[in-house]
Amino acid sequence: MVFVDALGREHRGNPGDYLIESSDGCRSIQRREIFEDIYVPLGRANPAEGSGLPAAPALASSTRPRISARPGASV
């Protein structure tokens, strides 16, 4: 995956990398090793919720950014 952010910076990702979207809508790509070292899985917010597909785990860090990420997505 390749995209240009709002500041004109090009981001490139490889299979297994994480696509991160912050609470302000900015997107970036983070290598799996770095992402999984920083963020800690917390589990599903509501186990009764779901579409029958496996969900990406809820994630958090000490700075608690709001993120949306999928490991192994076609990045």
Residue 42 β-bridge partners? none
Which class for 49: exposed (0-12), middle (13-18), buried (19 or more C-beta within 10 A)? exposed
pTM: 0.50
Query: What mean pLDDT is reported for the chain?
Result: 74
pLDDT tens digit sequence for 50-66: 555 555 555 444 444 44
DSSP, collapsed to helix, strand or coil, labels residue 32 as helix
Q: For residue 1, name the pLDDT band (cuts at 50, 70, 90).
A: confident
- What does the radius of gyration of the chain's CA atoms come to, in whole angstroms? 13
